[in-house]
A = this chain, B = another copy of it.
Amino acid sequence: MARSSLDIERDTPAETGSRISRRDFFKAATAGAATVTVGVATVSSAQAQEWDEETDIVVVGSGCAALSAAAAALQNGASVKIFEKGPVAGGTTGKSGGAFWIPNSPYMQEQGMDDPRDDAIRYMCRLSFPHLYRPDDEHFGMDQHTYDMLAAFYDNGARVTKTLNDTGAMTSLMSMSWDGGPTPDYFAHLPENKANHGRTTNPKNAEGGSGFGFDMVRQLSAYTEANGAPVTTETQVTKIVRDDEGRVVGVEISDPDGTRMVRANKGVIFGSGGFTQNTEMRNNYLRVPVRGGCAVPTNQGDLVNMAIEIGAKLGNMNEAWHQQEVLEEVLEFSSVPSGTWFLGGDSMVAVNRYGHRLYDEKFVYNERTRTHLTWDAVKAEYPNLYQFMIFDDHAIGYGGMLMPPAGSDMPSHIIKGDTWEELAANIDARLASLEDKIGKHSLDSTFLETLAKTIERFNSYAETGKDLEFNRGEQPIDKHFHKPGDNNDKPNPWMYPISDTGPYYAIILSAGTLDTKGGPVTTTHGQVVDISDEPIEGLYAAGNCMASPTGQAYFGAGGTLGPALTFGFMAGEHAAKA
């Protein structure tokens, strides 16, 4: 299988070498950690002298949003301290592909690729809150706040990208697909999307080529360190400290040496990630029933709890950047090494327990995952809660995500059967073996009969090149996600007939997240607001810990990091100028 720049979103650096060691490192680092109570403390002016440390701005976390905020604050003359709860810098950004989606990016502008403001904002509104979207409304059906936030993202994303690049804080370039063209958006096929290629951007790697998340972290953390603000790891911000007028004036931090009070003269900026690794919050807030995700183990919703204690308004709490996961991986450890960005192979389909296909298997992870939420009223079940990716040896030869590389050992989560009957029996045996973790699940008695029809139809689509149900392989993003294998001569190289003879294989898929996208609501400058929409002076949030104005949307590769980088930077600027 050819590797290309598209790997930015689907292959994490962790997979290319250090995966196990980093994962074990995190497991070891979090396994014995005591549950720390986070919250808010109030100091009266009489206590003001008790600070252990002092700085202008405290930054919490060390992913994209946090480091962008730190860089902006430093560039605007502020002193900065950066505290990272985990054992290494980078947070979930460090595991990620590193792409960041910027409408009207400087690289689009350089190449004369138009991305008019109204069109870009329309596209974002259309996807963020589809049930509210009204194309002829001046705010496209959004409330004023959501519209303002999305507009602010458009208005500042390019400037932030250019500033970071030009100052050397983080150099970047346009993301290119394996076919040599600019990377398409995830909904490049929608008529509302005019400038549907080229918004995805990548940090440069050490050689000046297209880099990954760790290149983003490497560049930004080197920049902040060179400017006096290294990332201090294994240091959790346990309390937001406010004065008796309610202004946030510092934090309490805890590290292996104890607890200290750090004064922040200008502000505290959270870029501390979401709540994917907090089971209770997942179940009580999210729309989709998920079991974990890519987010680092430290993303346990600390800011949600502190925001509640300080009286911040919460927003977008029902949403996450969704992806599917290999069920057995997430059951082993809820911080999975990588998302299932797309499903590899050509002679491959994904079906539910009734044997029905549910989507274009090559389409976007965030959208495929929403099918896990479908509810069967009378049966009182989520029929798509667990899904089964089914394939044959030809698909393995074709390659792609979740396909075992040629000559490698078959991972234990791949279930095998020499016939369909044997495969189904082995899937049921596997599900039964997981019963103490997931409860009683099994294939329906109609599974094999329906699967046979599903495969018969799929095979006819593969021969003609036209998927009459889900248009597989026709969306620009389908093509981007997977350069076809070299063993497919069919008219649509993202489909190939599934063999009449085994062996056959299956992988059980569950719903998950990259991370969640709800938290305290902010102004366009990142200031956290209270329940009356008034800014809480001195308190900022950006990235996955904030209420994302993007609702349920994932605009394109880097839809996560683009807003994080932009709003992080704007928070840093605003706090520094406070």
Distance (whole angstroms) from the CB of A133 to the closest CB of chain B: 5
One of A26-34, A218-226, A365-373 at the interface: A365-373
Does A287 lie within 8 Å of B318, measured CB to CB? yes
Residue-wise, chain A 515-531 has the 8 Å CB interface mask toward B (1 for contact) of 00010000000000011
A242 to B316, CA, bound (A): 29
A133 to B441, CA, bound (A): 10
Distance (whole angstroms) from the CB of A439 to the closest CB of chain B: 4
Residues on B with beta carbons closer than 8 Å to the beta carbon of A136: 435-436, 440
Does B373 lie within 8 Å of A367, measured CB to CB? no
Copies, count: 2
Distance (whole angstroms) from the CB of A367 to the closest CB of chain B: 4
A531 and B308 in contact, given A377-B367, A377-B371 (Cβ under 8 angstroms): yes
A313 to B475, CA, bound (A): 43
A308 to B364, CA, bound (A): 35
A37 beta carbon closer than 8 Å to chain B: yes
A378 to B283, CA, bound (A): 27
Does A375 lie within 8 Å of B367, measured CB to CB? yes
Residues on B with beta carbons closer than 8 Å to the beta carbon of A38: 531
Distance (whole angstroms) from the CB of A44 to the closest CB of chain B: 12
Residues on B with beta carbons closer than 8 Å to the beta carbon of A309: 311, 530-531
Distance (whole angstroms) from the CB of A535 to the closest CB of chain B: 15
A547 beta carbon closer than 8 Å to chain B: yes
A88 beta carbon closer than 8 Å to chain B: no
A500 beta carbon closer than 8 Å to chain B: no
Does A378 lie within 8 Å of B367, measured CB to CB? yes
Does A284 lie within 8 Å of B316, measured CB to CB? yes
Residues on B with beta carbons closer than 8 Å to the beta carbon of A307: 308
A447-476 CB contacts (< 8 Å) to partner B: 470-471, 475
The listed residue (B126, B279, B285, B313) touching A317 by CB distance below 8 A is B285
A425 beta carbon closer than 8 Å to chain B: no
Residue-wise, chain A 283-294 has the 8 Å CB interface mask toward B (1 for contact) of 111110100000
Most buried by B among A143, A189, A317: A317
**Chain A residues in the interface with B (C-beta under 8 A):** 37-40, 126-127, 129-137, 141, 143, 187, 189-190, 279-280, 283-287, 289, 305, 307-309, 311-318, 359-360, 363-364, 367-368, 370-371, 373-375, 377-378, 380-382, 385, 435-436, 438-440, 470-471, 475, 518, 530-532, 547
